[in-house]
Structure 1
């Protein structure tokens, strides 16, 4: 191995370690703070001499996490399956089928990628109020479906554009129609893409903060991240309890990512190769 290759490996390893520390140190700091004595204000990153594990139980009870986790689960189930299914079908149609005005439709979807949630929150509020949905979970689910669709279609279209044309031609020779070709050939081959998209949509729905905070008054109907706003208002001065509650919110997202990380990385690598 040449000296330049060794230097390149050392540099790459150093950058990876720095990025890892950049991501892990804040979590370790939150974890050590969550184990400190209740009501205290820990400074820096230090392991407490007497860890107070019951702080997590206190945060769970104080924030009513049972209701928040139930509400977040209902919102995720209302958003992720349907949005992934629609985005996958739309991405396949725009990539593989001759859809009338397909380029114009795709251009409009790309415009949707440029619109931030903050710019849409005011018209969404008045629209949902006029429909009588304000204060319900539908006020979170329906806007999230619309806001996530542009990225979902963009993600799945990029995957289907790289699909092997010979597979579609072979299916046509065998007498398969567009729907059969999609369901029996392209959809199974796109498992990594749509499963990675499901993880991204889960994270976006589970960690959604702004929409639940503005559109739903009842904290028990919000997501856990949205419910954290009410929890912070009540216990904002209790740093220990706040860190414990934040870690409880992060835990499901971390577990989901760890379980599906292989599919996620595989989808990213496929996109890079294509």
Structure 2
């Protein structure tokens, strides 16, 4: 179907308006972060606000803890999601449908509903105030969505790929990593970015599972910093940029694969 010049122009106008609407909060935070602090009358961008927020909020250790949690959660959840998605997407075995619904149930139960009994379980195991108490619940949450996502990806692939590999005597794991995974790289990159974003932004689990603040992550550090400098919007916005910077960096590095994976997922649905 041929699209007229007027329709193209209208599409660009609508997309531009939606883009500005989405970018407006980000632009507002950046402008506020570079604005003058309370009691400062100098004009122009104040890049020193970011340095002041970094030093006064001691964000270095909090960012490191968040990075360590993400480096534990994302690879483990990603590998397990690929394995489970491959099993549910290409194999037929007794109880597969029920087990898949069990995975989906993990997406439906909010963390707020189970966080208190989970805390007592972790405390009984002596895991509170450790990285395991923060990482293990997030791994479970990420696997639920990751399995759902990867199952859809593997089910959309031609079944003759697996059949041909089986005829050639290729093992299941070799078929997965050498035949099924390479075409699924965009989808894997998409779920990787999403898992990293969810892990990095997680607030409730680190708050409850680390009562001694031993594993206070970046969002918790930002919350504490906001309580100390509630009146100074410039410092709070600068601290927000510091905490959000790693997510932006990961997205920019993987945006090509992320967008491709999202478009593929939309086409399959």
TM-score (norm 2): 0.93
1:51 to 42, 45, 53: 45
Q: Is the 8 A contact 1:40 1:239 kept in 2?
A: no
Match of 1:174 in 2: 168
Q: Which residue of 1 aligns with 2:230?
A: 236
Is the 2:129–2:213 Cα contact (8 Å) retained in structure 1?
no
Is 1:102 equivalent to 2:96 in the alignment?
Answer: yes
Superposition CA RMSD, Å: 2.1
Aligned to 2:181, the other structure's residue is in SS state helix
Residue 161 of structure 1: aligned partner: 155
Match of 1:45 in 2: none
Question: What TM-score results when the alignment is normalised by the length of structure 1?
Answer: 0.91
The aligned residue for residue 221 of structure 1 is 215
2: CA distance, partners of 1:98 / 1:87: 17
Q: Say if 2:9 is the partner of 1:10.
A: yes
CA distance in 2, matches of 1:99, 1:234: 56
Note the residue ranges of structure 1 that are not aligned, 5 or more in a row.
43-47
5+ long unaligned stretches in structure 2: none
State how far apart, in whole Å, the 2-side matches of 1:183 and 1:82 are. Answer: 16
Are the equivalent residues in 2 in contact too, given 1:40–1:238 (CA < 8 A)?
no
Say if 2:30 is the partner of 1:31: yes
CA contact (8 A) 1:219 1:230 kept: no
User: Quick one: structure 1 residues 59 and 167, their matched pair in 2 at CA, closer, same or farther if it must change by over 3 Å?
Assistant: same
In 2, distance between residues paired with 1:41 and 1:270?
50
CA contact (8 A) 1:37 1:240 kept: yes
Are 2:129 and 1:135 aligned?
Answer: yes
C-alpha spacing 1:40/1:243, structure 2 compared with 1 (3 Å): farther
Task: For 1:255-270, list aligned pairs within 5 A.
Answer: 255-270=249-264
Where in structure 1 do 4 or more consecutive aligned residues deviate above 4 Å?
A: none
Moved more, 7-16 or 196-205: 7-16
Query: Superposed, which structure 2 residues align to 1:109-148 within 5 Å?
Result: 109-148=103-142
